[in-house]
Chains A and B, each alone.
Chain A
């Protein structure tokens, strides 16, 4: 069993934090979060994909880090999340979650 944490800098003020827990090649849990650095407040989560309790979904947070929207989605691997983040960047925060 392995617990793997990754921080992927997309830009100076944008990054993805990823947590994957795997048993061999089987992924038990994942959580990939797109974070943006605010000048006065440090890093804040904007959009998060995870499979808490085996239910893959995507969450959107407001500027106060409060969950404002949640939608079920397909399982997301880190590579797919990196691709989405690189394409949409900060626009992710205004997008319709069902498209993610």
Chain B
């Protein structure tokens, strides 16, 4: 049995993240050629950036081959994921208010969800904004 989590991200958003991290595609390209492609993340980010710039679609999948996921996907946490896939929030505190939960429990649950990629955080000044790009979760039983 395995669980397949599908995400779709706006390519523009991915490019913005690269710009924040590396500046321009040329500066990343230089870094990759200096390191002779030995740095995994930089080499992959360069390829992704290059193709997204020319209009490619971007999809992400997380595949879990064990049942650990069911310990993570508690009803309360799924409620957070569900809310974040449909709504934008400006902070963790705002999220805790709209789901009527205390801040600490909401924060702890978001961290657990982040570990398996169900939730991502975007920095905005001092605060961390939780978001989720999940479009589907599938459980597959192999015969």
State the A residues within 8 Å of B (CB). 1-12, 19, 21, 28-29, 31, 33, 45, 48, 50, 52, 59, 66-67
Contact = CB atoms under 8 A, between A and B. Distances in A.
Given A19-B47, A29-B47, A31-B44, A6 B57 contact: no
B68 A8 contact: no
B40 A5 contact: no
11 contacts: A1-B57, A3-B57, A3-B58, A4-B61, A5-B59, A7-B60, A7-B63, A9-B65, A10-B65, A21-B47, A31-B47
Interface of B is mostly: mixed
Contacts of B25: none
Interface of B: 11, 37-38, 40, 43-44, 47-48, 51-52, 54-66, 68, 116-117
Nearest to A10: B65
- Most B Cβ at <10 Å: residue of A5, A12, A28, A48: A5
A67 B38 contact: yes
A21 B116 CA distance: 23
Contacts of B43: 31, 50, 52
Contacts of A45: 40
B136 to A, nearest CB: 14
A1 B51 CA distance: 8
Given A19-B48, A21-B51, A29-B47, A4 B59 contact: yes
B62 A3 contact: no
